[in-house]
Chain A
Amino acid sequence: MPSPTRTPIPILLLSLFLLLSFSSAARAADWTDTVKFSGWLDSDIRHTLDDTRGADGEGYAFQMNRNAVKLRLDIFPADNVRAVLETRMIFYGFSNAGTVDDITHRERIDPYHVQLDEAYLHAREVGWEGLDIKVGRMIQNWGKVDMFNPTDNLNGRDLSDPLDFTAKMPNQMVEIDLYPADWVSFNLVWIPVFKPTQLPDSADFAFAVDYDGNGCFSSAPAAPLSPSVNRELEGVIKKNLPAKDFEALLANNGIQASDEDLETLRSVFQVDKHYRDFCRLNFLPPEVRTVTPSLTMRNSMAAAKVNFSVSDFEFSLSYFYGRHTFPVAYDAVAEISDDPEEWYTFDKYSIDKSKVDPAKLNVKYVAETLYPRVHVAGFDFSYTSEYVADIGFTGEMAVYFPEKTIFALRAYQDGEKLLERSGVNVPKTPFVKGVFGMDYTWTSWLYTNLMYARGMFDEFNDRYGIHNYIVPMVGLTFLDSELKIQVSGAFTPDDLSAFVYPQLTWIPHPSVELIWGAMVNIGDTELGDPYDYASRSRFGHRTAGRNVGFMKARVTW
């Protein structure tokens, strides 16, 4: 659950009231002519359906008990001027109170969160009838395809709610729109300051350390280097662990040694020093940092798009310069010590000393990620053919010219460098993301959509690579659209994982929706090769989040 902020709700409501008052004063005749008020209220209860993708011992439980209100004002204080204000208030429904003192504070018993999704002014016909300007906090939606838009890189993603995976992170920007003719228009956008994607809670599992049934260290996350380097790093750590039953180890490796050879091996392997009890290893929680771009003009982002409309055929050419909004692995340091006070890198990172066990070999792992720069050249189109049974075709393709990113890894022991390895994580070679889709309405009650996508939002041709996805959707409506069944999902043939997202929607009254559904991930929860950074199953691994069933009620106005 995201940590709640303390934004005072009364101030927000007062602001909304003042805006309403101002607009009504400015247009004294009838303020409803100058203000459009819309929004929704949403209540969302979720329960986990599996006990394999969470943290150990988490079990089955309610995952969400959320109430959210979205309030949107479109204010028209003068001709050709619009102000947009969109806020969301979210109450999580889970108490954060753990002490008696906590239960004397409402915000700890009933934590909440307020966010401003959009707040911008929109001025039309500025100096010329074909020129519009927008300034403020906005969410841009580029591209013609539904949901997966490789040409749309202006906003980061808001993945805080795994079921709402197309949500975006608003950002401050300046937009100039030009409409020189009916068939062509231009969009120019400048984003002064980069803002990253908000990751889901399950992202932590990408860096989780695993333990076996005895609570002993089992495996650590693989670095984006070759499997052999990851094995090498583990070897460096293992060499420092206390002894195990050496004879049994030999036998497990199929080695039949005579007594004489066994003694020789014990001697040359220095068994008492080196073989190796994982239960004596204390791998501290990995610390993962992000290297955020500095607030300089050089780190501003910009994009341009030209849109063409020729009869039923619409297409756009676009260009984006900025940064990938998902973090990409950059470097890592592992330090091994019996005495963490001696750590060379000690003052470079934070250590929870309560986690340090002086009776064990302590390992601290600190990684850094960054947001690589990128140029993106894009093309998108949509076309509904009256000659081919009214099938709608949409497609997008974007060529990414990424910043080359070299990942480096070091291991230290008591201040001495044991190992340094590096390798290209993101090559500078351009890569392509694309989507092609078709939709078709078979009857008044059956609608289908099928897409092929190469590259998901977060993929950037690092060592994890670019994957292929088949994204089908079937929609059924009954009882004059009072009842809807929709089943959507995605499947990747690259690792044979998928998710299925069935929903049943009942609309008892206009504007009221009651929804029951589930999000079910399918695939290997374990890594194919724990030393291979790329072996993570896309939808099966724990980073994809837990399987949940949900019930939502929403009223829209």
Chain B
Amino acid sequence: MKHSHSRTVGFFLLFSLLLALAGCWESSGLDRLEDLYPSAGDSDAADGDLDAPEAEMEFEAVQAETLAGRWAMLMTLNSTINPVIDPWPMLLENLFLVDIPEDQSEMRLVACQQFADVDGIGDLGVIEYSDETIQKISETPLTIPLACDADSPERCTEPVMPQKVLWHWGLHVEDMDDPENDRLPEKKDDPLVWDQDEDGHAGVTVHVLSPLGYRYMVRRAIWNLGKGTLSEDRMWITGSMTFRVDQKSVDADRTLLLTDAPITAIDEGNVYQMRLLETKDQPIDGDLDFETDAESETADGDLDAEPDDVSDGDADAEAEAEAEPEAEPESEAAGRTFKEGEAVDYKYTCERLIREYKQLFDNAPLPAEEK
């Protein structure tokens, strides 16, 4: 009998060892397709391929013990938009400046811009927001609680907890019973409609490029943020997300634009990526440095640098000063902090983020589940 017991134990040891090997497997259809149909020479611009090879870029940036500081956030959201009849692919990019206070209890998002790239016919369905509209939207920041332990905030490695966030435009949500699900108002004189951009038209004003005109609308975006993970160098926070967008035209300057253009989320490939820009103790000037291989050859005195290029030299500082004559008021708006006594005079502005975000996020890591 003792003999058989030892056999049983051996069997289970083997069993446990084999089970431990599980979880290392993956078969990727993407890799398979690349093997079968190599993409060399393909343009990846239209396909929303978030795993595209990344440009060589080197960051030398602030290193911080805590998360407190100013961050840039890019949300990349895949969707379709149906301007009249058929849905077309649309890539939405939401840009925010994000401030995290010293206690790391929450983060506040200030909208800088939303870009919508519609893969359709000409400019049909393409929209723009005026600076004034975005400025007014940014004055209603979003506050998102963080998961950091107040007693040991330095250990915060998964700061963003899974949660639902409501972002609304042109709506008096405080008067709604269920802001996430209530039917959106359809008439401009509905008391729920708020002239948020204060331009005299109901809701927020959207400039439609084709058919040309202005649509006055209300919108509600619901984000289901997945867990956000801090990178080892503490420079990035990344996570996956899903989302929903509801919108209604409450008025328009031509009848045709009263027709809604529903946006339908695509579940895959939606991510948020946050990049640390500056901290209280390490101001932006001289600490955020982008240097690509190509640029490094002409870095000194490169007065013809693209607006995306930001480097240390005096010429760049001058160019920056020249490029940001209105930086101060925007900085004030975006630099508002959460609690009395915690005001920090951050320098990095929305205007600069809009110029630099392509380069800033070109090398950004993806959440583990999106790799």
Chain B 42-86, CB-CB to A under 8 Å as 1, else 0, gives 111011110000000000000000000000000000011000111
B85 close to A264 (CB less than 8 A): no
Q: Which of A203-260 contact B (CB under 8 A)?
A: 225-226, 228-229, 231-232, 235, 238-239, 249-250, 253, 255, 257-258
Query: Which A residues are CB-close (under 8 A) to B86?
Result: 235, 238-239, 276
Q: In the complex, identify which listed stretch (B167-175, B176-184, B259-267) lies at the interface while the others stay far away.
A: B259-267
- Indicate if A144 sits at the interface (CB-CB under 8 A): no
A178 close to B7 (CB less than 8 A): yes
A268 close to B42 (CB less than 8 A): no
Query: Which B residues are CB-close (under 8 A) to A238?
Result: 86
Query: Which B residues are CB-close (under 8 A) to A264?
Result: 211, 256
- Indicate if A420 sits at the interface (CB-CB under 8 A): yes
Q: Which of A392-408 contact B (CB under 8 A)?
A: 401-408
Given known pairs A181-B4, A304-B14, A345-B37, the reply for A408 and B28 (CB within 8 Å) is yes
Query: Which B residues are CB-close (under 8 A) to A368?
Result: 29, 32
B26 close to A406 (CB less than 8 A): yes
State the CA gap A410–B22 with chains docked (Å). Answer: 30
- Indicate if A372 sits at the interface (CB-CB under 8 A): yes
Q: Which of B178-220 contact A (CB under 8 A)?
A: 210-211
B7 close to A331 (CB less than 8 A): no
- Indicate if A82 sits at the interface (CB-CB under 8 A): no
State the CA gap A331–B27 with chains docked (Å). Answer: 10
Query: Which A residues are CB-close (under 8 A) to B121?
Result: 239, 268-270, 274
Query: Which A residues are CB-close (under 8 A) to B369?
Result: 424
Partner of B259, one of A255, A403, A419: A255
B25 close to A417 (CB less than 8 A): no
Partner of B33, one of A232, A306, A333, A424: A333
State the CA gap A33–B267 with chains docked (Å). Answer: 68
Q: Which of A282-320 contact B (CB under 8 A)?
A: 291, 304, 306, 317, 319
Q: Which of B1-51 contact A (CB under 8 A)?
A: 1, 3-4, 7-8, 11, 14-15, 18-19, 21-23, 25-30, 32-33, 36-37, 39, 42-44, 46-49
- Indicate if A421 sits at the interface (CB-CB under 8 A): yes
Question: What is the distance, in angstroms, from A229's C-beta to the closest C-beta of chain B?
Answer: 6
Query: Which B residues are CB-close (under 8 A) to A232?
Result: 80, 87, 89, 266
State the CA gap A176–B100 with chains docked (Å). Answer: 63
Query: Which B residues are CB-close (under 8 A) to A265?
Result: 84, 211, 256
Chain A residue with the shortest CB-CB distance to B125: A268
Q: Which of A492-544 contact B (CB under 8 A)?
A: none
Chain A residue with the shortest CB-CB distance to B49: A420
Query: Which B residues are CB-close (under 8 A) to A235?
Result: 80, 86-89
State the CA gap A422–B49 with chains docked (Å). Answer: 9
B267 close to A404 (CB less than 8 A): no
Query: Which A residues are CB-close (under 8 A) to B44?
Result: 420
Question: What is the distance, in angstroms, from A243's C-beta to the closest C-beta of chain B?
Answer: 12
- Indicate if A75 sits at the interface (CB-CB under 8 A): no
Chain A 407-436, CB-CB to B under 8 Å as 1, else 0, gives 111101000111111111100101000000
Residue with the highest number of chain B CB atoms closer than 10 Å, among A249, A250, A421: A421
Query: Which A residues are CB-close (under 8 A) to B32?
Result: 291, 330-331, 368, 408
B267 close to A423 (CB less than 8 A): yes
Partner of A228, one of B19, B256, B264: B264
Query: Which B residues are CB-close (under 8 A) to A331?
Result: 29-30, 32-33, 36
Chain A 365-386, CB-CB to B under 8 Å as 1, else 0, gives 0001010110101000000000
B27 close to A418 (CB less than 8 A): no
- Indicate if A94 sits at the interface (CB-CB under 8 A): no
Query: Which A residues are CB-close (under 8 A) to B256?
Result: 257-258, 261, 264-265
- Indicate if B325 sits at the interface (CB-CB under 8 A): no
- Indicate if A344 sits at the interface (CB-CB under 8 A): yes
Partner of A428, one of B21, B25, B28, B87: B25
State the CA gap A265–B124 with chains docked (Å). Answer: 9
State the CA gap A180–B2 with chains docked (Å). Answer: 10
- Indicate if A348 sits at the interface (CB-CB under 8 A): yes
B85 close to A250 (CB less than 8 A): yes
Query: Which B residues are CB-close (under 8 A) to A345?
Result: 36-37
Question: What is the distance, in angstroms, from B189's C-beta to the closest C-beta of chain A?
Answer: 22
Residue with the highest number of chain B CB atoms closer than 10 Å, among A178, A265, A317, A418: A265
A419 close to B47 (CB less than 8 A): yes
Question: What is the distance, in angstroms, from A328's C-beta to the closest C-beta of chain B?
Answer: 9
- Indicate if A321 sits at the interface (CB-CB under 8 A): yes
State the CA gap A345–B211 with chains docked (Å). Answer: 37
Question: What is the distance, in angstroms, from A338's C-beta to the closest C-beta of chain B?
Answer: 19
Chain A residue with the shortest CB-CB distance to B89: A232
Question: What is the distance, in angstroms, from A368's C-beta to the closest C-beta of chain B?
Answer: 7
B18 close to A406 (CB less than 8 A): no
State the CA gap A401–B16 with chains docked (Å). Answer: 13
Question: What is the distance, in angstroms, from B12's C-beta to the closest C-beta of chain A?
Answer: 8
- Indicate if A167 sits at the interface (CB-CB under 8 A): no
Query: Which A residues are CB-close (under 8 A) to B152?
Result: none
State the CA gap A375–B267 with chains docked (Å). Answer: 29
Chain B 327-359, CB-CB to A under 8 Å as 1, else 0, gives 000000000000000000000000000000000
Question: What is the distance, in angstroms, from B368's C-beta to the closest C-beta of chain A?
Answer: 11
A377 close to B49 (CB less than 8 A): no
Query: Which B residues are CB-close (under 8 A) to A344?
Result: 37
- Indicate if A184 sits at the interface (CB-CB under 8 A): yes
Question: Can you sample 5 A-B contacts with CB below 8 Å?
Answer: A180-B4, A184-B8, A232-B87, A331-B36, A408-B29
- Given contacts A257-B256, A265-B211, 4 further A-B pairs with CB under 8 A are A228-B265, A229-B268, A304-B14, A333-B37
In the complex, the 10 A-B pairs of residues with the closest C-beta atoms, listed nearest first: A408-B29, A331-B29, A403-B25, A401-B22, A180-B4, A226-B267, A423-B268, A420-B47, A408-B30, A404-B26
The residues of A with any CB-CB pair to B shorter than 8 Å are 178, 180-181, 184, 186, 225-226, 228-229, 231-232, 235, 238-239, 249-250, 253, 255, 257-258, 261, 264-265, 268-270, 274-276, 291, 304, 306, 317, 319, 321, 330-331, 333, 344-345, 348, 368, 370, 372-373, 375, 377, 401-410, 412, 416-425, 428, 430
The residues of B with any CB-CB pair to A shorter than 8 Å are 1, 3-4, 7-8, 11, 14-15, 18-19, 21-23, 25-30, 32-33, 36-37, 39, 42-44, 46-49, 79-80, 84-89, 121-124, 210-211, 254-256, 259, 264-269, 369
